[in-house]
Amino acid sequence: MSDALPLISSLGAGAALAILFFGGLWWTIARGIGSQRPALWFASSLLLRASLVLGGIHLVGQGDWRRMVACLVGFAMTRPLVLWSTRHLDREAANAPDA
């Protein structure tokens, strides 16, 4: 059981990194489309999000390939959930009456 706990926590950290990455992408698209300088929004967001995720995987992994793989699995498993939730939020926003 002592070997499983670091892997489970790495899986959870990967899920948190996915929420950060894809949630940040959703936020960037929402803000960047109406911006005066969308290229600046998208480029800086990509650099920031990628740096945070790669740094997070490096920190979580602590040099252990099993922890890094668990983190990546958590990241990949969370992606569909984040995509579903952002689609759901977009639908709600589209159906909301204008105030």
Range of the domain at 79: 4-95
What is the count of structural domains for the chain? 1
- pLDDT, tens digit (0-9, with 9 covering 90-100), for 41-53: 999 999 999 999 9
- Please compute the mean of the pLDDT values over residues 81-98 and round it to a whole number: 76
- pLDDT, tens digit (0-9, with 9 covering 90-100), for 16-40: 999 999 999 999 998 998 899 999 9
pTM comes to: 0.83
Where does the pLDDT of residue 98 fall: very low under 50, low under 70, confident under 90, or very high at 90 and above?
A: low
Contact in structure between 3 and 64 (CB atoms under 8 Å): no
Report CA-CA distances (Å) from 27 to 4, 24, 30, 31, 46. Answer: 34, 5, 5, 6, 12
Residue 83: the pLDDT is 84
